[in-house]
Amino acid sequence: MKHITLDITNVLSKTIGDEGIDRALLLNIAAKIKEFKKTVYNTPYPFMDFGLLRSHLNDVYKVGENLKGLNIKNLILLGIGGSSLGTETIFHALLDPLHNIESDKRGNAPRYFILDNIDLHRIKRVAELVKKENEETLLVAISKSGETPETMSQFMVFKDILTHGKDYKKRIVIITDKNKGMLREIVKKEGYLSLPVPEGIGGRFSVLTPVGMFPAWFMGIDVEEILSGAKGMSEHIENADYKKNLAVIIASILYAMDNKGKPIHVVMPYCERLNAFADWFRQLEAESLGKKGRGPTPLKSIGVTDQHSQLQLYIDGPKDKFITFLYCVNESQYIPESIPYIEELDYLAGKDMKELFRAEFLGTRRSLTDAKTPNITITLDEINPFNIGALIFLYEMVIAFMGFLYGINAFDQPAVELGKIYTKAIMGKKGLEEKRQVIEQELTKKRSIIEF
């Protein structure tokens, strides 16, 4: 049984003409990655080290032992970007969509609230909930640096609330750098349970570390299977011929599309459970490759919803887009003949909604292909922990290979760091007085403002 399949028919020039890529050129790019891949697997990036990932999974279990016996009804996860998007991907794919609403949908797992923003409308409401259920709430704060201002401010708010409950320190887990940062200092000072973000693994590549595995384990998700899927994908990427290697071919196509004047990469899941994966991929590609004036622009589009909002642009707008479909539909829903007096609905009555969903997908893909908008399709046989682990690792390697093709470091984010520095300066952090002065001078300048 094939877990994940890739259909590249509609990106090839023999299908869509000049808007596509010639197979020979595609394989020429893939051959370059083939040589680089040997180097990568001889000296793996830290996120590829399954011995390390396995050891940290054992750390997750050890922390879990300390949480036994606690009556936890709410998991509050504080994190932003890579500290939360991977967990959101896993939860959205593998938990019931009514998990937080109906108790019988979540079994023994708690409700979860991922606070990946400091917009006060949501923060304040979740804070009110925690005040009411103080001693039934587990707080998990995640920051690689241990100094992310959004996460630190959230932690200060929710830690203060928890201190009013009995034995509150038992209900705080911090995931951060093993040796440095303010969160690590807080762990040492106050004695909270903690897990490491491994050295050399940045936030957007950290979902298979305790960053994603601890919250997933706590919610009852089979994290062993997630790692098994990732390891299986790693073995495929290492050993498969470059002409039939998922990561090598996808990376080659994405790179070729950008060079062909199609820098807008649209990820379009026809599977609601993969919607959050598209969000995770946006950060992975944008933050890894958007450097030195280069890099594609990843967008998220949802099938079938965005057929009614974006498809007009993708078909009839500028030819600067490339579409990746993600497809998986296994459930069924019978469409009853409940409106027999309208003959025009006969084509739907008595059918399975799964058939309609597939027809929508095939129709959209065909219309894009007719319009010569290049597209590929990734199909999962089902949504399960194994396949989610495999899909995550696949795209981590795709981005690593693209970094090689672009000749850039895919693992840093210098422009993001500058924004963080300005934020801290505005808030009055010591040592950043010059940066604060720059902002203050800007605010004194006359602004071009239009009012209503």
- Can you give the C-alpha Rg of the chain in angstroms? 24
**Residue 251: Cβ within 10 Å count:** 26
Task: Output the CA angle 3-26-264, nearest 5 degrees.
Answer: 80
Please check whether the two domains, 4-40+226-406 and 47-221, share a CATH topology.
yes
The one-letter amino acid at 305: T
- In whole angstroms, give the CA distance from residue 348 to residue 333: 12
Determine contact, residues 354/242, Cβ cutoff 8 Å: no
- In whole angstroms, give the CA distance from residue 374 to residue 370: 10
DSSP letters spanning 90-125 = HHHHHS-TTTTT-GGGTTTPPEEEEE----HHHHHH
**Residue 257 CB-density burial (10 A; 0-12 exposed, 13-18 middle, 19+ buried):** buried
The two beta strands, 111-115 and 4-7, are unpaired
Per the annotation, the verdict on 420 as an active-site residue is: yes
CATH number of 4-40+226-406: 3.40.50.10490
- Catalytic residue, from 99, 287, 291, 321: name it: 287
The residues near 93 (Cβ < 8 Å, ≥ 6 apart) are: 273, 274, 276, 277, 383, 388
Determine contact, residues 392/47, Cβ cutoff 8 Å: no
- Catalytic residue, from 3, 34, 420, 424: name it: 420
The two beta strands, 4-7 and 375-380, are antiparallel
User: In this predicted structure, what is the pLDDT of residue 442?
Assistant: 76
Which CATH class, in words, describes the domain spanning 47-221? alpha beta
Which residue, 105, 83, 102, is CA-closest to 94?
A: 105
Per the annotation, the verdict on 147 as an active-site residue is: no
3-class secondary-structure state, position 377? strand
3-state helix, strand, coil in the chain (%, to 5): 55, 15, 30
Fill in the DSSP letter of residue 40.
Answer: H
User: In this predicted structure, what is the pLDDT of residue 126?
Assistant: 96
Residues in the chain with pLDDT < 70? Answer: 1, 416-418
The one-letter amino acid at 86: G
The one-letter amino acid at 99: H
List the structure tokens of 349: 């009555």
List the structure tokens of 355: 């058939």
User: In this predicted structure, what is the pLDDT of residue 412?
Assistant: 87
Which residue, 157, 161, 261, 143, is CA-closest to 210?
A: 143
- In whole angstroms, give the CA distance from residue 283 to residue 293: 17
- In whole angstroms, give the CA distance from residue 378 to residue 281: 14
User: In this predicted structure, what is the pLDDT of residue 439?
Assistant: 74
Per the annotation, the verdict on 73 as an active-site residue is: no
The residue extents of the domains of the chain are 4-40+226-406, 47-221, 417-443
- Catalytic residue, from 132, 189, 308, 446: name it: 308
Q: pTM of the full predicted structure? A: 0.93
Task: Output the CA angle 358-386-90, nearest 5 degrees.
Answer: 80
150-160 confidence digits (pLDDT tens): 999 999 999 99
DSSP letters spanning 109-168 = PPEEEEE----HHHHHHHHHHHHHTGGGEEEEEEESSS--HHHHHHHHHHHHHHTTSTTG
- In whole angstroms, give the CA distance from residue 152 to residue 157: 9
Task: Output the CA angle 53-58-60, nearest 5 degrees.
Answer: 95
Measured in residues, the chain has a length of: 452
- In whole angstroms, give the CA distance from residue 52 to residue 121: 39
